[in-house]
Structure 1
Amino acid sequence: MRFSRLIVIHFCLAATQVSAFQSISVSCRRASLSLHRHDGLASIEIARTGPSLPMASTSSDSTDTANGSVFSSEELQFLENTFADAVKDAQALKSTLLEQLPTMNPAIIMKLKQSLADPNETVQAVANALGSVLEAQLEQARDILKSLLDAGEIRKMDALIGKAARDGKLDAAFFSVLQMNLQNAAQEAAAAAEEGEASRVQVLQHVYTRCQEEVEKNVPPGIALLNKLLRTEIDSIRANQLKHYLCPQPNVITAPDGTEIQLEGEPRILVPPPLLVDAIGNAIKQIRTVEKAGGTDPASAANMVESVRQVAKEARIIIGENYGIESEALQEFEEGLQPVFRPDSPESVYIKGE
């Protein structure tokens, strides 16, 4: 599995599942927890994840101000206005923080993670509360993954995944934990599993695929399709998926005797191409926003953008083949992606982020 594709999926989902984790890089430290083998599930060691310092330096907005803080005056005012009343009550502060996290600027979140000793008391309190909140979410995600791997057999695991999705527990924190476990497993793949056992990579990939499938049921169709395409490694399968979802479906059914029956009405399109354009644009903006905030380095961001660009190129070919080179559908698709991949200003959100 190419992890640049795996990582960029989180940015696609961020359009509907915005979380502090979209702007936080995670480092992995090994935990002593191991899971016993049950009916084909190999013994698996869970990698714990925890927030780390950003991999890339933040923009000029994060330089120290005259008051010794890394925050601009506007950012300090936002933090004071939002959290000042809750600072003296730890529980109220955490509750307010949880309410604000989904819409908080990623750059502010990154700066808060570096501000445990900030001279501003409000900032310092919010920074400490943020650390506690994120750690609690990661611990919960780790426990969810453990429960899935403890299921004992595949059907029970799949049922638990469905329940976790319905309960809203397959969030960005969960995928951060799962991603780090997948990376660890891939690095250790050279050490072959015992004969007859499912390898750690195989089990975690199954969990990853099933969780993605469940999440895709609850996001807009354009985002779900982009997500599906990014986690599909084989070119021919992606081409079939693009044709199936973006192009008109056959308006006929085949009877048992082999005769075809023409149905009334217009052929159905499962995902109109403009919805995929919107999903691609949102994914690129999310990637650039996190890069600007220091949550990833330029090389990683470029790899993620290239993964999305490749999907866009393949979609353009499929639309041209099925709608026609001169079709309005292809023209709209190309025009919609023009500002995404060829912005006319260096200040574009597709370069600078939001």
Structure 2
Amino acid sequence: MAGGAWMVALALLAPGWTGLRARAPSPRLRGARSAAATQMCALPARADDELVDALMAAARAGDVTAVDDAFDRVPHASMVRVHELAAQGVMDAVWVVRCMEDVMRSRMADGASKLRVLLESGEITRMDAALSRLVRDGGADTAFNLVLASNLEHARAACDETMAQLYTHLSTRVQEELEKRAAPAVGLLHRLLRTPDAGLRERVLVDFLAPKTSVALPGAEPIALATPAPPKVTAAQFGDAVRGAVAALASVELRGETVAESVEECRAVAKQAREVVAQHCTADELDAFSRQLAPVFAPFQARQ
């Protein structure tokens, strides 16, 4: 389930996901293959016409800074509209697209610079410490993660096991650090997507979703609680996390099949969570959880 975890990490945990929605060069180290061929697929949505007008006005005035400031706030539907206008020859829209592409190139270059600094940290413990600081300071954004993924892909294609293992380690550590800083329900979803073993996923789900009826003591029998303690994450909160992840994945498609696979992994986790809710929660909570998630996956099942 690593692919789904990585996509969710970008969609929900990494800063700057919404801005990276068009083709842009992905800088690489040591000649790694660029991810420039990665394409975004537009989904039908209503464009924010006011924001589109504001962006085009900024482009008309030559205000590149305003476009840069809006980079992370522009809805996908708005960028679809801008690209449509640019294709029709509307020069204001053409300038917006060019400005956005410049911002993306700059961010990808910055991501490559961050990765280079990490690799130059030396031994693995220092590298991990530097990575933790990078995440803490908000530097592990989507651009950085895409550059890291591009280099990992190239290392695997080149059969460079040493670099592939190093990039895999960095990718896992980034996800773990982002997970720590996420809301509990989002962090739980991401953790489950990183866990391939179904039995372990079930134990994690029970630990988080089931009310606590006893307290375990080292070397002694568990002590029953007179009143069950609330779960670490409620079924409703976890349902919201799943719904948010699927919505974020659907809003910007890197590659249709990649998104579909990630959504399917989310669906498998949600199905297993429903079984845990059925065993450990009330009938009302189970019913609410089922109704909460039923419409989330229906559009994707209809496409199959």
Shorter-chain TM-score: which interval? 0.7 to 0.9
Partner amino acid, structure 2, of 1:171: D
Equivalent of 1:319, from 273, 277, 301? 277
Against the structure 1 CA distance between its residues 214 and 131, is the aligned structure 2 distance closer, same or farther, given a 3 Å change threshold? same
Counting matched residue pairs gives 303
Matched-pair contact (CA < 8 Å) for 1:106–1:290: yes
| Cα deviation code 1:243-273 (max 9, x no counterpart) | 22222245424256x3655667642421111
| Cα deviation code 1:118-153 (max 9, x no counterpart) | 633321221111111101111111111122222211
What CA distance in whole angstroms lies between the structure 1 residues aligned with 2:222 and 2:53?
68
What CA distance in whole angstroms lies between the structure 2 residues aligned with 1:18 and 1:114?
21
What CA distance in whole angstroms lies between the structure 1 residues aligned with 2:223 and 2:50?
66
Corresponding residue number in structure 1 for 2:135: 165
**TM-score normalised by structure 1 residue count:** 0.72
1:19 aligns with 2:4: no
Corresponding residue number in structure 1 for 2:39: 54
Corresponding residue number in structure 2 for 1:144: 114
Equivalent of 2:261, from 282, 298, 303? 303
**1:20 aligns to what SS in structure 2?**
coil
Normalized per residue, the structure richer in helix is: 2
Which 5+ residue runs of structure 1 have no aligned equivalent?
35-44, 62-71, 194-198
**TM-score normalised by structure 2 residue count:** 0.83
What CA distance in whole angstroms lies between the structure 2 residues aligned with 1:125 and 1:202?
41
Against the structure 1 CA distance between its residues 110 and 49, is the aligned structure 2 distance closer, same or farther, given a 3 Å change threshold? farther
Equivalent of 2:249, from 287, 301, 315? 287
Corresponding residue number in structure 1 for 2:285: 329
User: How much does 1:113 deviate?
Assistant: 6.2
1:233 aligns with 2:206: no
Matched-pair contact (CA < 8 Å) for 1:253–1:261: yes
Partner amino acid, structure 2, of 1:79: V
Corresponding residue number in structure 2 for 1:269: 231
Aligned Cα RMSD in Å?
3.4
Taking the TM superposition and a 5 Å limit, the aligned residue runs for 1:57-72 are 58=42
User: How much does 1:172 deviate?
Assistant: 1.3
User: How much does 1:337 deviate?
Assistant: 0.9
Percent same amino acid among aligned pairs? 25
Taking the TM superposition and a 5 Å limit, the aligned residue runs for 1:53-132 are 54=39, 56=41, 58=42, 78-85=51-58, 87-89=60-62, 92-93=63-64, 95-110=65-80, 112=82, 119-132=89-102
1:216 aligns with 2:179: yes
Larger radius of gyration: 1
User: How much does 1:111 deviate?
Assistant: 5.9
User: How much does 1:328 deviate?
Assistant: 2.5
